[in-house]
Amino acid sequence: MIDLDALPLHPPVAIASGETWDFQCWFRDLASSNFSDAVRVTFW
């Protein structure tokens, strides 16, 4: 369960109902860096 009423500390932005957020991870793979596949989440 995600507590949509809890404000995160950094950055101080709360998720509001109806918003769509995109998430992606940046990681190192031996000598290079890569990005994971992105995930789009719509909060209701």
Q: Closest Cα partner for 5 from 16, 36, 40?
A: 16
* Residue 3 belongs to some domain of the structure: no
Range(s) of the domain holding residue 24: 15-44
Task: Give residue-wise pLDDT tens across range 8-44.
Answer: 666 667 788 899 999 999 888 888 899 889 999 999 8
Tally of domains within the chain: 1
Count of residues in the chain = 44
In a domain, 10, yes or no: no
Looking at residue 40, its pLDDT comes to: 95
pLDDT of residue 23: 92
Residue 44 domain-assigned (yes or no): yes
7: in domain: no
**Amino acid (1-letter code) at residue 28:** R
**Domain membership flag for residue 25:** yes
Are 41 and 2 a contacting pair, CB within 8 Å? no
Residue 6 has pLDDT above 90, yes or no: no
Model pTM score: 0.54
